[in-house]
Amino acid sequence: MKNLAYISIGVLFGITMYKSEAASWFRIYEMFNFQAFHMYGIIGVAVVLGVLTIQIIKKYNIKTFFGVPIVLEDKDKSFKRYFWGGIIFGLGWALAGACPGPMFTLVGAGFYSLLIVIAFAMLGTYLYGVLKDKLPH
């Protein structure tokens, strides 16, 4: 039952990524050229509603479906890892036109060349794990 809930949430996410065109290389290219409001609108609405949702959860101590309090941890304070990691991610995002959610959605949509992107994203993740202690965080 719980498994089915996770899959259903994923299906909703996948359909939304596909139908919003946020999973399209073209939209990412357009966004980084500031030629349309579309992507900014999607992220903007999601964040504004997200901020409101989290404020309400915190104010009214909303519990999960299973009755456990929702506790949102703060991210570790630092600069280097977020800045440099973010830049490397951005370079890849603009080139491949897909981030870690949409790359899976696109395989489902029948674009099998994304399997190359996924394989190398795993390799990149692996190399990070190997080099982790040598990188500035």
Partner 1 sequence: MIDFILEPWAWYVSGFLIALVMFLLMMMGDRFGLSSNLRTLCTICGAGKKTDFFSFDWKSQKWNLLVMIGAVIGGFIGAHFLSNNTGVNISSDTIEQLQEIGINSSNTSYLPTEIFGLFTFKNILLLAVGGFMVGFGARYAGGCTSGHAISGLSNLQIPSLIAVIGFFIGGLFMIHVLFPFIF
Site string for partner 1, 31-60 (x = CB under 8 A): xxx-xxxxxxxxxxxxxxxxx-xx--x---
Least distance between partner 1 and beta carbon 1 (Å): 12
Residue with tokens 């399209």: 24
Give backbone dihedrals phi and psi of 63, rounded to 5 degrees, phi first: -100, 160
Residues 5-24 that bind partner 1 (CB under 8 A): 5-24
Least distance between partner 1 and beta carbon 74 (Å): 7
Residues in the chain, total = 137
User: How many Cβ atoms are within 10 Å of 77's Cβ, its own excluded?
Assistant: 6
User: How many Cβ atoms are within 10 Å of 17's Cβ, its own excluded?
Assistant: 22
CB 94 within 8 A of CB 28: yes
Least distance between partner 1 and beta carbon 78 (Å): 7
Cα 97 off chain centre by:
13
Q: Applying CB under 8 A, does 129 fall inside the site for partner 1?
A: yes
Query: How many residues bind partner 1, per CB under 8 A?
Result: 114
Residues 58-97 that bind partner 1 (CB under 8 A): 62, 64-66, 68, 70, 72, 74-79, 81-97
